[in-house]
Structure 1
């Protein structure tokens, strides 16, 4: 079995007297799509902040490809909850922003991004402003900006949480198709059980704060996934919901 792309071993985090993460151990192998579910305020986003270096942990180990995660490492491409597109930059200039920050020239960055606009459903909108896009298109632009950095792993923090229900479902199916084609290595933070089952190879469920992993769910379903009405999908969702609401059972 391959070395995990990412492995957390007994990771802990406190903010003063407040214990947020008590014991987090999980792994993500190359090409896997893994999700973290948990109650609101459990510390799901704190996990990503530890990975991006925005926060320092208080114990445990974070390994990337078997080696300790170095401070200031740029191994992950991060997509926050909001699209964070700059309203004064055209879409193409928003999608190249990360590359330009890394030092690529505007011309080189555009040459890398432009071929992907068709696949991301943004062809013809390169020179529009974010305010001229639908919510789903803005999220696709934000994901394009994330993946074009070609990092070893994508960190997605509730990327569709701000969308209306219909657009969110559309985006979830779109992301599932994109992942099937590209086999990105992904760690997703979500509060949506159905989203996690639709997208993930494996799901880790957190307890309330201070968070620990209360259960791991493997999702042995091929892509594209059956509809939510399929018995096997409904059974997994019901089991996850039971764990979220009654973790002690």
Structure 2
């Protein structure tokens, strides 16, 4: 059974049709990526799932129930870490849990269980400005997954990092995901990132966006520890061809 399902979803903002007939599904423990041209509406899908925007037509369900009946189904990580600079790292990590009504003590106890795996032991009392970009992204990801929502929504979480840090974060995240099997939906512009991390990839058309391809990634895990295989390279080329056919010479 799918944890998340979108059926024939459409969104029009003003006079602009943004999404048209979007259908997707995400099973428990699955890693899904969404690729598409700039401005196609990838982040709009996340706005729908987090309740920031309402769809005009179609249906969205989480755990078999309409989205409106399950607003706690998703934890969201934006493109940048969005850590509050005046709060120490531990207090940033507990914020989502405290908003849900958990006591500060219980929230801290839960967060402490994850600090080692996220490489943040010893940095609990630091402020965000005292951490590297990669450490801040790990903190933002921990703040997301510690909420134990059914689905994790990641909106280009590594896009603001330099190339070397981004590669390290992708490798680190793949290792964490293989252990925990978080149900994950990733929005990305990076074809190689999608192939490296995903079980399946949805490709969107130009606006108004519809799903023009659903591609399974057959390459065995772990992937980030290996050189790019001929199979992965061929899949990257296939996805790039689909995107270029949508956009001409611009993505």
Shorter-chain TM-score range: over 0.9
Q: Work out the CA distance in 2 between the residues paired with 1:22 and 1:90.
A: 43
Q: 2-side partners of 1:141 and 1:173: how far apart?
A: 16
Alignment of 1:12-23 (within 5 A): 12-23=10-21
Answer yes or no: is 1:57 the counterpart of 2:55.
yes
CA contact (8 A) 2:94 2:107 kept: yes
Deviations 1:65-96 (A, max 9, x none): 22221257111111011101000100000000
The answer as to whether partners of 2:32 and 2:186 remain within 8 angstroms in 1 is: yes
User: TM-score scaled to structure 2, two decimals?
Assistant: 0.95
Unaligned runs of 5+ in 1: none
Question: Within the alignment, does 1:162 sit opposite 2:160 as a pair?
Answer: yes
| Counterparts of residues 115-194 of structure 1 (less than 5 Å) | 115-194=113-192
TM superposition outliers: structure 1 runs of 4+ over 2 Å? 226-229
Deviation at 1:107, TM superposition (A): 1.1
Mapped pair 1:236 → 2:245: no
User: Using the alignment, how far apart are the partners of 1:28 and 1:169 within structure 2?
Assistant: 25
Can you list the C-alpha shifts for 1:140-191, whole angstroms capped at 9, x where unaligned? 0001001111111100011011111111111111111111000010011010
Q: Is the 8 A contact 1:120 1:144 kept in 2?
A: yes
Does residue 214 (structure 1) correspond to residue 212 (structure 2)? The answer is yes
* 3-state DSSP of counterpart to 1:194: helix
Measured in 2, the distance between the counterparts of 1:228 and 1:23 equals: 37
1:34/1:186 contact within 8 Å kept: yes
1:223 aligned to 2:232?
no
Q: How far 1:11 moved relative to its partner?
A: 0.5
One of 84, 103, 111 as aligned partner of 1:113: 111
Q: Secondary structure of 2:85's match?
A: coil
Aligned runs of 1:59-78 on 2, under 5 Å?
A: 59-70=57-68, 73-78=71-76
Which one of the candidate residues 34, 42, 60 is aligned to 1:44? 42
